[in-house]
Amino acid sequence: MRHIYFDNAASTPIWPEVLEVMCDALKRYQGNPSSIHYHGRQARADIERARKVIAHLFNVSVGEIFFTSGGTEAANLCISGAVKNLGIKHIITSPIEHPCILQAVQRQQASADVEVSYLDVDVTGRVRPDSLLDLLSDKNTLVSIMHANNEIGTVNDIPNLRSLCASDAVYFQSDTVQTVGHFPMDWTAWDIDFASASAHKFHGPKGIGFVYINQRNKIPPLILGGSQERNMRAGTENVASIVGMAKALELCHQRMDSMKDKVQRLKSYLIHKLSDNFADVRFRGDLSGPSLYTVLSVAFPSGNRSAMLVQSLDIEGISVSGGSACSSGAQKQSQVLATIAPDDPSTTIRISFNPQNTREEVDTLVEKLQLILQN
Ligand code: PLP
| pLDDT tens-place string over residues 156-182 | 999 999 999 978 899 999 999 999 999
Paired residues of 116 in beta bridges: 91
Q: HSE on the CB side for 93, CA within 13 Å?
A: 27
Instruction: Give the CA distances from residue 367 to residues 50, 149, 256, in Å, rounded to whole numbers and listed in that order.
Output: 44, 28, 30
Which residues lie with the beta carbon below 6 Å from any ligand 1 atom?
70-72, 98, 100, 146, 150, 175, 177-178, 198, 209, 326
Identify the DSSP state of 156: P
> What's the 224 CA to ligand 1 centre distance in angstroms?
23
What whole-number distance in Å separates Cα of residue 339 and Cα of residue 223? 33
pLDDT at residue 30 in the model: 85
pLDDT at residue 82 in the model: 97
* Residue 65 neighbours by CB distance under 10 Å: 24
What whole-number distance in Å separates Cα of residue 369 and Cα of residue 221? 47
pLDDT at residue 227 in the model: 94
Q: Which of 150, 176, 198 to mutate to test the pocket of ligand 1 (most atoms within 8 A of CB)?
A: 198
| Centroid of chain to Cα 347 | 23
End-to-end CA distance of the chain: 21
C-alpha torsion angle, residues 294, 147, 15, 32 (rounded to 10): -160
Atom of ligand 1 nearest to the CA of 209: 15
C-beta of residue 171 within 8 angstroms of C-beta of residue 88: yes
55-58 contacts, C-beta under 8 A, 24 or more apart: 57/249, 57/250, 57/253, 58/185, 58/186, 58/187, 58/188, 58/195, 58/212
What whole-number distance in Å separates Cα of residue 158 and Cα of residue 146? 8
C-beta of residue 323 within 8 angstroms of C-beta of residue 331: yes
> What's the 8 CA to ligand 1 centre distance in angstroms?
12
Q: Helix (H, G, I), strand (E, B), or coil: what is residue 217? A: coil
> What's the 75 CA to ligand 1 centre distance in angstroms?
9
C-beta of residue 75 within 8 angstroms of C-beta of residue 97: no
Helix axes 239-277, 38-57, angle to 10 degrees: 30
Atom of ligand 1 nearest to the CA of 150: 5
Q: Which pTM value belongs to this model?
A: 0.96
Name residues whose C-beta falls within 8 Å of residue 367's C-beta, 6 or more positions apart in sequence: none
Whose Cα sits closest to atom 8 in ligand 1? 326
Tens of pLDDT along the chain (375 residues) come to: 899 999 999 999 999 999 999 999 999 888 999 999 999 999 999 999 999 999 999 999 999 999 999 999 999 999 999 999 999 999 999 999 999 999 999 999 998 789 999 999 999 999 999 999 999 999 999 999 999 999 999 999 999 999 999 788 999 999 999 999 999 999 999 999 999 999 999 999 999 999 999 999 999 999 999 999 999 999 999 999 999 999 999 999 999 999 999 999 999 999 999 999 999 999 999 999 999 999 999 999 999 888 899 999 999 999 999 864 344 444 567 899 999 999 899 999 999 999 999 999 999 999 999 999 997
Q: HSE on the CB side for 302, CA within 13 Å?
A: 4
What whole-number distance in Å separates Cα of residue 236 and Cα of residue 210? 15
Q: Which of 67, 98, 350 to mutate to test the pocket of ligand 1 (most atoms within 8 A of CB)?
A: 98
Specify the pairing of strand 141-144 against strand 170-174. parallel
Paired residues of 212 in beta bridges: 65, 195
Whose Cα sits closest to atom 5 in ligand 1? 150
Nearest to 289 by CA among 149, 120, 99: 149
Q: Which of 67, 79, 100 to mutate to test the pocket of ligand 1 (most atoms within 8 A of CB)?
A: 100
What whole-number distance in Å separates Cα of residue 144 and Cα of residue 171? 9
What whole-number distance in Å separates Cα of residue 200 and Cα of residue 245? 8
pLDDT at residue 112 in the model: 78
Question: Which residue of the set 78, 100, 252, 326 is catalytic?
Answer: 326
> What's the 138 CA to ligand 1 centre distance in angstroms?
31
C-beta of residue 13 within 8 angstroms of C-beta of residue 203: yes
> What's the 372 CA to ligand 1 centre distance in angstroms?
30
Whose Cα sits closest to atom 10 in ligand 1? 71
| Centroid of chain to Cα 269 | 24
Atom of ligand 1 nearest to the CA of 69: 15
Atom of ligand 1 nearest to the CA of 72: 16
* Residue 195 neighbours by CB distance under 10 Å: 30
What whole-number distance in Å separates Cα of residue 169 and Cα of residue 166? 8
> What's the 207 CA to ligand 1 centre distance in angstroms?
11
Indicate if 326 belongs to the active site. yes
> What's the 77 CA to ligand 1 centre distance in angstroms?
14
Q: Which of 67, 69, 72 to mutate to test the pocket of ligand 1 (most atoms within 8 A of CB)?
A: 72
